Chain A
Amino acid sequence: MNLDDFPIFRMMAGKTHWLSARQRVLAQNVANADTPGYRPHDLKPTDFTKAAGADDFRVTLARTHPSHVAGTRPVDAYRSLPERRPYETLPSGNAVVLEEQLVKVAENRHQFDLVSQLYRKHVQLFRIALGRGGQ
Chain B
Amino acid sequence: MMLEQALEMAVAGMKAQGARLRVIAENIANAESLGETPEADPYRRKVITFKNVLDRTLGAEIVSVARVRPDMSDFRLTYEPEHPAADENGYVRMPNVNALVEIMDMREAQRSYEANLNMLEVSKSMLARTVDLLR
Cα separation A98 to B114 with both chains bound (whole Å): 11
Cα separation A27 to B2 with both chains bound (whole Å): 10
Q: A34-B108, A105-B122, A112-B126 are in contact. Are A24 and B3 (CB under 8 A)?
A: yes
Report if A132 contacts B (CB, 8 A). no
Smallest CB separation, A32 vs chain B (Å): 5
Smallest CB separation, B87 vs chain A (Å): 35
Main secondary structure of the interface of B (DSSP, over half): helix
Contact between B133 and A31, CB atoms less than 8 A apart? no
Contact between B129 and A112, CB atoms less than 8 A apart? yes
Contact between A116 and B133, CB atoms less than 8 A apart? yes
Within 8 A of B (CB), among A45-75: none
Inter-chain contacts of B118 with A (CB < 8 A): 30, 102, 105
Cα separation A120 to B51 with both chains bound (whole Å): 42
Chain A: interface residue count, which band?
20 to 34
Contact of A35 among B50, B123, B132 (CB under 8 A): B50
Contact between B6 and A109, CB atoms less than 8 A apart? no
Contact of B129 among A32, A113, A123 (CB under 8 A): A113
Cα separation A34 to B62 with both chains bound (whole Å): 13
Within 8 A of A (CB), among B81-135: 108-109, 111-112, 115-116, 118-119, 122-123, 125-126, 129-130, 132-133
Report if B29 contacts A (CB, 8 A). no
Contact between A34 and B20, CB atoms less than 8 A apart? yes
Known: A26-B119, A119-B133. 12 other contacts (CB 8 A): A19-B126, A27-B10, A30-B10, A30-B115, A32-B63, A33-B13, A34-B20, A36-B49, A98-B111, A105-B118, A108-B122, A116-B133
Which residues on A are within 8 Å of B, measured CB to CB? Answer: 16-17, 19-21, 23-24, 26-28, 30-36, 38, 98, 101-102, 105-106, 108-109, 112-113, 116, 119-120, 123
**Could you write out 24 A-B pairs with CB less than 8 Å apart?**
A17-B2, A20-B6, A20-B126, A21-B2, A24-B6, A24-B60, A27-B10, A28-B9, A28-B60, A30-B10, A31-B10, A31-B13, A31-B116, A32-B13, A36-B49, A98-B115, A105-B119, A106-B122, A108-B122, A109-B122, A112-B126, A112-B129, A116-B130, A119-B133
Which residues on B are within 8 Å of A, measured CB to CB? Answer: 1-3, 5-7, 9-10, 12-13, 16-17, 20, 49-52, 60-63, 108-109, 111-112, 115-116, 118-119, 122-123, 125-126, 129-130, 132-133
